[in-house]
A and B are shown apart, each in its own frame.
Chain A
């Protein structure tokens, strides 16, 4: 099972649409969760952290479900500028390695169409 799994997409949505991405993680010892955004041929940038109680930042809402080991990102009122790849990132302790690891998903590509 992949450590952090995301639907690769692409998700093609019209402007103004609401779109949701899910991400599942396999390590039950995961402690911190994030969404990063990576524009085409650019470096990743932090979009938002994901808190246990869920959190919102403008049009973006992140949720965490520890029992089912998944996190989600909801984008409302999509803009053309939201077109990017969204990376799910999980930090946790891996007993095999005996260390903390930052693990990235492959990303979900979003294209917002005029």
Chain B
């Protein structure tokens, strides 16, 4: 399997549930990202990991908890979400994360999350 894969593709959860989104990249990249895409809002960068270390955290509520156990896998743990958290969550990877060079982002297909 190539590229960036995400599971599940669709998820419906209640506000009291705990669930996790999974992302896997098969590109040998060192950086991985979580994005949120809501209707009529721009794509929002949530977290950046480089070589399994979190390098950016854009003021995301603590009910979203990322985990990067190795450079190929990235998780987003969800708990006590709100209905306004319903969105498409996209994972991406790139060769590296650098302040001086911007590498092409390769996106996964996303997880469509609905919080009821």
Q: Which residues from chain A sit less than 8 Å from chain B, CB to CB? A: 4, 31-32, 34, 36, 42-46, 87, 91, 93, 97, 99-107
A31-B98 Cα distance, complex, nearest whole Å: 12
Q: By the criterion CB–CB under 8 Å, are B109 and A87 in contact?
A: no
Closest to A90 in B: B102
Give chain B's interface secondary structure class: loop
Give chain A's interface secondary structure class: strand
Q: Does B2 contact A (CB under 8 A)?
A: no
Q: By the criterion CB–CB under 8 Å, are B42 and A4 in contact?
A: yes
Known contacts A43-B109, A43-B110; decide if A100 and B99 are in contact (CB<8 Å).
yes
**Known A93-B99, A99-B55, A103-B45; further 6 A-B contacts with Cβ < 8 A:** A43-B108, A103-B42, A104-B44, A106-B40, A106-B42, A107-B42
The one of A43, A99, A107 that contacts B56, using a Cβ cutoff of 8 Å: A99
Q: By the criterion CB–CB under 8 Å, are B108 and A102 in contact?
A: no
Between A and B, 18 residue pairs with Cβ closer than 8 Å are A31-B102, A34-B102, A43-B108, A43-B109, A44-B90, A45-B107, A91-B102, A100-B99, A101-B45, A101-B56, A101-B58, A102-B45, A103-B42, A104-B43, A104-B45, A105-B42, A106-B41, A107-B42
Known contacts A43-B90, A43-B110, A100-B99; decide if A87 and B105 are in contact (CB<8 Å).
no
Q: By the criterion CB–CB under 8 Å, are A97 and B58 in contact?
A: yes
Q: Ordered nearest first, which 8 A-B pairs have the shortest CB separation?
A: A43-B107, A104-B43, A32-B102, A106-B42, A104-B42, A46-B104, A91-B102, A100-B99
- B42 surroundings in chain A (CB, below 8 A): 4, 87, 103-107
- B99 surroundings in chain A (CB, below 8 A): 93, 100
